[in-house]
Amino acid sequence: MTSTSTSPSAKFLTAQRSELLSRRESYLADMARSTATALELTEDGANQDMADEDGFGEGDTLNVERDRLLVVASEAKERVAEIDAALARVDAGTYGACEACGKPIPEARLEVVPEATLCVNCKTGASLRRK
């Protein structure tokens, strides 16, 4: 990102880096917790025959819950990747620039979604084009 009056300040970038790192740690913890719980459910299901006479039972519920936890872990992993990319943009000096139009992403948007890669106009336009 070129040095203009609309470039994020060093203070803002420091605050954003801190927020990104905090969110990253939270997502990593969510991912580890969800994965561990899913593995426990897998082990529990393998160790017990929980089906009733119709072939349905607690095992089916455990499978659904395990799958849900694996989705949560996968989504957390995706968020970590987005945050890692945002941290790389901070390091490269390109943080806060819209990847589509190159204009600055407003700081208010970055405070809410620090890993944002698109300004509101491009994000809205992208959403409308997909419909």
3-state secondary structure of 97: strand
Domain coordinates in residue numbering, the chain: 8-94, 96-131
E strands along the chain, which residues? none
| Amino acid 3: pLDDT | 40
Helix (H) or strand (E) holding 27: helix 10-47
Q: Which residues contact 21 (CB under 8 A, 6 or more apart)?
A: 87
Residue type, 106: P
Which tokens belong to 107? 């700081």
3-state secondary structure of 72: helix
**d(Cα 125, Cα 88) in Å, to the nearest integer?**
25
| Amino acid 45: pLDDT | 60
Question: Model-level pTM?
Answer: 0.77
For the chain, 131 residues long, give each residue's pLDDT as a single digit of tens: 444 446 789 999 999 999 999 999 999 999 999 999 999 988 766 555 544 444 555 567 888 999 999 999 999 999 999 999 999 999 999 999 999 999 999 999 999 999 999 999 999 875 555 55
